[in-house]
Amino acid sequence: MTQSAVYEQVPNNLEAFWMPFTANRQFKSKPRLFTGAKDMHYSTVDGRKVLDGTAGLWCVNAGHGRTQIIEAVRDQVGRLDYAPAFQMGHPAVFEFAARLTNLLGADFDHVFFTNSGSESVDTALKIAIAYHRARGEGTRTRLIGRERGYHGVGFGGISVGGIVANRKTFGSLLTGVDHLPHTHNPAKNAFSRGQPEHGVELADELERLVTLHDASNIAAVIVEPVACSTGVLVPPKGYLQRLREICTKHGVLLIFDEVITGFGRLGASFAAEYFGIVPDLITTAKGITNGTIPMGAVFARKGIYDAFMNAPDNTIELFHGYTYSGHPVACAAGLATLDIYKEESLFERAADLAPYWEDGVHSLKGARNVVDLRNLGLIAGIELAPRAAKPGARGFEAFIKAYEANLLVRVTGDIIALSPPLICEKKHVDEIFGVLGDVLKTVD
Ligand code: PLP
């Protein structure tokens, strides 16, 4: 049997692989295996085509199996498979960094490469603390995250993150971390279309934390502009702007974690552009290479890099980096991805489709057990009432039934999250909400 035929079958041994963020025993008793993907669809080991309602894991923004990316990767790996990331370089990484800063606009001038969203977050937190120190404000070490925030799984990320299951079994985490309250207020905001009306004042909690600790001790605030992994919490109108104002007033860096919202998800290059806010650092990953090759990046606002450039010029300015920072093959994938985003105007396309998407989302109003519907750009959250004493059971059943009905969705507890590739067409939107509507009728 050829190697490729082997990868078309259910493996003999499902046990050895300890699966991440997965109910391992449930999965292995009834595995869900993808063997191929093209454009908007996955193909499964049992020969079905499954509509991708989640862009993989919020990352395949340009759709699957893009020839341009495949060829760029093939070409690069054949020419230069790896170059040391420390004290050495290769042309593609400089080209990619320059292209990314062009995409971000005039406020950002440097890029630090990582291999994932989690690494981007830990990198940004470290840059923030080191930046203040480099400027002679070394007491600014405290970090502020937000309840229900998801910032990956590194110790920095889970410390500023606010999802209890991701924190509670991992010890004491980083010290010197506080959390803003989350912005979810279904009593006032349920079934909002786009940004909810109520909750701007929740940003003022940052003033309270500044009063408690003094600004001279606070390095940075990190938030997802739209909190996605917790179940799609769209920021209330004016909330992010207010956070920006308070950070500026107190010299605290504002970090936007755009691992999901970056690269077109909201119908703009980044959420920073969408909301018209300039944060100090932006963390990204996922859509940076269309999910093809692992990569992440941190973008630094003008002045941040410069603050580090004050030691003698043969000294390392930032003692941080990864063996695979700016990996040549990832850069090739990223450059080809940026070409596709531009050539196909995918961010504008997402913006054009967003109103139709919003109507699709809200067509589920009144569906069985649906207690809230939320949307922004090409993101949706469908919140189901939990079953008594069985949180997450109803959501998981909906996920399995959708998969059996050839639709891939994601669930966080009892919230279904959707984020299709940006190449999504109206017929796919109709299919997603048609299938989900039928599935929800069968979930008691
Ligand atoms: N930050 C945010 C906002 C995310 O949504 C994610 C992943 O979903 C991460 C960080 C972590 O990214 P990764 O899984 O690539 O480490």
What's the pTM? 0.98
pLDDT in tens, the chain (444 residues): 676 777 889 999 999 999 999 999 999 999 999 999 999 999 999 999 999 999 999 999 999 999 999 999 999 999 999 999 999 999 999 999 999 999 999 999 999 999 999 999 999 999 999 999 999 999 999 999 999 999 999 999 999 999 999 999 999 999 999 999 999 999 999 999 999 999 999 999 999 999 999 999 999 999 999 999 999 999 999 999 999 999 999 999 999 999 999 999 999 999 999 999 999 999 999 999 999 999 999 999 999 999 999 988 899 999 999 999 999 999 999 999 999 999 999 999 999 999 999 999 999 999 999 999 999 999 999 999 999 999 999 999 999 999 999 999 999 999 999 999 999 999 999 999 999 999 999 999
Rounded CA separation 145/124 (Å):
13
pLDDT given for residue 427 in this prediction: 98
Pocket test for ligand 1, best of 259, 266, 295, 322 (most atoms within 8 A of CB): 259
Rounded CA separation 401/354 (Å):
26
- CATH level 3 topology of 70-343: Aspartate Aminotransferase; domain 2 (3.40.640)
- Ligand 1 contact, 354 CB (< 6 A): no
Counting from 1 in the atom list of ligand 1, the atom nearest the Cα of 286 is 15
Dist. CA 57 → ligand 1 center (Å): 9
pLDDT given for residue 7 in this prediction: 83
Give me the residues paired with residue 220 across strands: 143, 253
- Ligand 1 contact, 358 CB (< 6 A): no
- Ligand 1 contact, 260 CB (< 6 A): yes
Dist. CA 190 → ligand 1 center (Å): 26
- Ligand 1 contact, 152 CB (< 6 A): yes
Counting from 1 in the atom list of ligand 1, the atom nearest the Cα of 152 is 11
Sorted by sequence, the CB contacts under 8 Å of residue 225 that are 6+ apart come out as: 235, 240, 256, 257, 258, 261, 266, 271, 272, 274, 275
Domain ranges of the chain: 3-62+345-442, 70-343
- Ligand 1 contact, 151 CB (< 6 A): yes
Rounded CA separation 403/416 (Å):
12
pLDDT given for residue 1 in this prediction: 65
Contact 191, 365 (CB under 8 A): yes
Pocket test for ligand 1, best of 22, 119, 121, 281 (most atoms within 8 A of CB): 121
pLDDT given for residue 5 in this prediction: 77
- CATH level 3 topology of 3-62+345-442: Aspartate Aminotransferase, domain 1 (3.90.1150)
Dist. CA 398 → ligand 1 center (Å): 24
- Ligand 1 contact, 140 CB (< 6 A): no
| Burial per residue of 197-208, b for 16 or more beta-carbon CB atoms within 10 angstroms, e otherwise | eebbebbebbee
pLDDT given for residue 2 in this prediction: 72
Rounded CA separation 390/393 (Å):
6
